[in-house]
């Protein structure tokens, strides 16, 4: 948050939110990020909805990105993020300053998304999925090479097990440290590195196979 405040111009909404958070929660300027979030959580535990709203606006974009990446549905992603924030509000009175609020929220949103994927799976008709996807594909001439590659990566990501997909998103999109990312997945840093390595290897294989396939644009 302090990084955002430092980079954003004063008229920017994020700057104003960050300022509101700090003023409302009376956060000293020299706190480390974990202690800073603990001060915000203390204000939220006291019922300060202004600070809570500012924190939600701060965290929503990247939580939505990761939830959309896992669920492939922006509507469901919004529901999951919303649920995550409600859990944060409930957790505020007992907050332990061991991690940033954002890391905690990533963990909760990940669990909620996995729960949804588990519930969704029995309804998926495995036999017909490929036929349905194929029928929805536009003709090769209709799409640009860039769009084709985008689709190809999206398909490859969708084929990764959710845990590997999450590891890739945490590493490439979320701006979390390795320690934070491993905390989100509740594994050691070494296990997280191994998971990420397996995911990247698998992605390269899937992308290469798709590019080499008939109609692929190698």
Site string for other proteins, 55-74 (x = CB under 8 A): -xx--xx--xx--xx----x
Site string for other proteins, 84-123 (x = CB under 8 A): -xx--xx---------------------------------
Cβ–Cβ < 8 Å for 88, 108: yes
Binding range to other proteins, per CB under 8 A, among 31-39, 47-55, 94-102, 119-127: 47-55
CA dihedral 51, 68, 186, 179 (to 10 degrees): -70
- Member of 114, 149, 163, 187 binding other proteins (CB under 8 A): 149
Could you tell me the two tokens for 138? 């536009």
Please report, for residues 15, 28, 102, the alpha-carbon distance to residue 109 in angstroms, rounded to integers and kept in the order given. 25, 29, 10
Please report, for residues 5, 110, 112, 131, 165, the alpha-carbon distance to residue 122 in angstroms, rounded to integers and kept in the order given. 45, 20, 17, 18, 20
Q: Smallest distance, Å, CB 122 to other proteins?
A: 26
- Give 31 or 91: the residue with its C-beta nearer to other proteins: 91
- Give 27 or 171: the residue with its C-beta nearer to other proteins: 171
CA dihedral 74, 75, 79, 80 (to 10 degrees): -30
Could you tell me the two tokens for 66? 């990761």
Binders of other proteins among residues 10 to 39 (CB under 8 A) are: none
Burial of 43-80, coded b for 16+ CB within 10 Å and e otherwise, reads bbeeebeebbebbbbbbbebbbebbbbbbeeeebbbeb
- Give 46 or 140: the residue with its C-beta nearer to other proteins: 46
Site for other proteins contains 196 (CB under 8 A): yes
Site for other proteins contains 43 (CB under 8 A): no
Site for other proteins contains 163 (CB under 8 A): no
- Member of 8, 20, 117, 207 binding other proteins (CB under 8 A): 207
Could you tell me the two tokens for 97? 């300053």
Site for other proteins contains 204 (CB under 8 A): yes
Binding site for other proteins (CB under 8 A): 47, 49, 52-53, 56-57, 60-61, 64-65, 68-69, 74, 78, 81-82, 85-86, 89-90, 146, 149-150, 152-154, 157, 168, 171-173, 178, 193-194, 196-198, 200-201, 203-204, 207
């Amino acid at each position: 948050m302090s990084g955002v405040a430092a980079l954003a111009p004063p008229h920017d909404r994020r700057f104003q939110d960050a300022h509101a958070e700090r003023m409302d929660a009376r956060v000293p300027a020299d706190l480390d990020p974990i202690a800073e979030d603990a001060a915000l959580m203390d204000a939220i535990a006291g019922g300060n909805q202004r600070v809570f709203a500012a924190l939600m606006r701060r965290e929503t974009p990247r939580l939505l990105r990761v939830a959309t990446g896992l669920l492939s549905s922006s509507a469901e992603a919004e529901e999951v993020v919303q649920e995550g924030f409600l859990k944060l509000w409930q957790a505020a009175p007992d907050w332990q300053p061991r991690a940033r609020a954002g890391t905690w929220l990533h963990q909760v949103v990940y669990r909620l998304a996995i729960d949804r994927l588990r519930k969704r799976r029995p309804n998926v008709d495995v036999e017909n999925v490929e036929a349905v996807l194929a029928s929805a594909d536009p003709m090769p001439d209709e799409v640009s090479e860039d769009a084709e590659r985008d689709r190809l990566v999206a398909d490859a990501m969708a084929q990764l097990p959710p845990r590997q997909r999450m590891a890739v998103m945490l590493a490439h999109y979320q701006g979390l440290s390795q320690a934070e990312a491993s905390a989100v997945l509740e594994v050691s840093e070494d296990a997280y590195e191994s998971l990420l390595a397996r995911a990247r290897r698998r992605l390269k294989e899937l992308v290469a196979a798709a590019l080499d396939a008939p109609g692929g644009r190698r």
